[in-house]
Structures are given as C-alpha cells and as structure tokens.
Amino acid sequence: MFAGVQPAFVTPRATLSRLTVTWVGHSSLLIQLNGLNILTDPMWSERASPVPFAGPRRWVVPGIAFDDLPPLDVVVESHNHYDHLDSKTVRRLARAHPQASWIVPLGLASFVQQRGAPADAVAELDWWGEKKVGPVRIGATPAQHFSSRGFGDRGDTLWCGFAFVGANGQRVYFAGDSGYHPEFGAIGERYGPFDVALMPIGAYEPRWFMRYLHMNPEEAVAAFRALHGRVMVPIHWGTFKLTDEAMDEPPIRARAAWDAAGLPSSGYRQLAHGETLTL
C-alpha cells in the first residue's frame, strides 16, 4: 500500500553539524545527531504481538534493512507495548551493536538486560530525568499513555517521550506514544525549540476509547505548536493496522490541520518508509 524509498543516512556516522532523521516505520527512526547514531523504539519483526502467528502484521517492510543499520550509539525505548518494544529485535540489536547505550523508562532495564544489553549500558529514567551520551543530552519527557505486556502488569513500568539536545545546539523531540496532554508546552520550554519533532498521528479511532492514549492528527499539530518546533515529521501510522481509521487517513488529516493552523508548508515533512530528512 505504501511504497518505500532508499535511505540516505550517512555511513558510518554523520558529521557533528549534520542532523538526519530516517523513518524505518511506525515509531522506529534512525536519528543522526551531533555525530551519534540514535535508534528509537526499534521494531523489525513481522508482527506486533507476543506470538508469531497472530496480531497486527506489518504492511510495509522496514525502511532500513536490519543489516544495513550503521553502528548504533544509543537505543531508546518509550514504553513496553509490542509495537514499540519487540523482544526479538532487542536481542538482535544487543548482539549486533554491543557498544550501544540503552535508555528506557523506569522499570524496563531488566527487559533489555535479559535480552543481552550489558547492565552497565542501560539507564532507566523517570520523567524529566536525563542521561548524557557523548555530546548529546537525552531527557525523558512526560507522556499520556500506559504500559502492559500481559494480564496483571498494567502500569508496572513507565512510559515517556525523549528530547535529544546536541552540544552544537541541534534539538530533536520524539514523542513516543501519547495522548494529548498539558505538558507539551513545558517540554518545549525546557528542551526546545526543536529543529524537528517526531509526532505520532495514528491509531486514534474509536475516539471515545483512544483519546486518552493516542493523539489524533489535529491534536498532534496542536502539540507541535506548543513545543515550538520548526519541522514536524508524522510517525506511528502506515505500518501496523492497530485501530479503526483507514491506514492512509492520518497524514491526510494531519496535513489539513497543519494548513488550517497557518503553519509554513515547508515545516510539515511526511516521510516515506526509508526516507531520510536532512536538516
């Protein structure tokens, strides 16, 4: 349904001044910031599910083949849902990129450690907590969501977004998974203004149920405005069929909301799977 394109990130690393964002699919992105390679919510499996024979199936192959990933410096996980935290992918990354630092919300360190991430390479953060990796400061930011991987564990681990601040002043915001909440302005004040904000726009219907968990496209644009970002890249759409809306509806509504808000056309950058945005 959605065609991918050839990635154009820099191998093995971008220069200190170059910022690139490549959409792998859903909430998985490769960010090259201040010389570091950062991977968000890595998900390379065929299904977002605890079992390989059922559950939401990938509509589009990952925009970067796993073996084509550059040497990773940082992997961040926003929360423990299967479409964001994939056990098989974590194991593959831990084997292939043993040098990477892992940054996770409270309660998730043991998950990645048990799947091969070195204990001294894993940091757990509470909201507003920070970790510096090389020249990049990484902050865990508030989100409105929940956690659960089975029965009886709802809320046992935290969920969050992440802000990345390079020593050269470049700034990236990754919202993770979130409903609309009043802290976007505070995130922008503390870590912004952002060169690029990676905003979830999909999985929002039926609204009576999803409104507290996922932003719809109009709310994503409102959140972006509160963040004082320069460029918005829509994520969390077009990869897994999770909710009732049509797969191609989120970006259509997001673009309409962007235009209705009077924002500059150049600031909305919808990426194809595998496409690289260079700033």
Residue 9: per-residue pLDDT:
97
Q: What is the mean pLDDT of the chain?
A: 95
Residue 151: per-residue pLDDT:
82
Residue 34: per-residue pLDDT:
97
pLDDT digits (tens, 9 = 90+) for 39-64: 999 999 999 888 878 889 999 999 99
Beta carbons of 21 and 277 less than 8 angstroms apart? yes
* Model pTM score: 0.96
| pLDDT at residue 84 is higher than 80 | yes
Beta carbons of 94 and 117 less than 8 angstroms apart? yes
pLDDT band at residue 150 using 50, 70 and 90 as cut-offs? confident
Residue 135: per-residue pLDDT:
96
| pLDDT at residue 72 is higher than 70 | yes
CB atoms near residue 228 (< 10 Å): 15
pLDDT digits (tens, 9 = 90+) for 100-115: 999 999 999 999 999 9
Q: Which residues of 59-73 are buried (b: 16+ CB within 10 A; e: fewer)?
A: ebebbbeeeebbebb
DSSP string, 138-172: EEEE-------SSSS-TTSS---EEEEEETTS-EE
Going by C-alpha positions, the residue among 26, 52, 28 that lies closest to residue 42 is 28
| pLDDT at residue 209 is higher than 60 | yes
Residue 233: per-residue pLDDT:
98
Residue 152: per-residue pLDDT:
81
Beta-strand pair 20-25/231-235: unpaired
Question: Across residues 67-76, what is the average pLDDT?
Answer: 98
pLDDT digits (tens, 9 = 90+) for 220-234: 999 999 999 999 999
Residue 1: per-residue pLDDT:
56
Q: Which of 22-26, 153-157, 239-243 has the lowest mean pLDDT?
A: 153-157
Going by C-alpha positions, the residue among 182, 165, 174 that lies closest to residue 79 is 174
* 49, 140, 144, 255, 256 from 43: Cα distances, Å: 11, 20, 21, 26, 29
Residue 52: per-residue pLDDT:
79
Q: Which CATH class is domain 20-278?
A: alpha beta
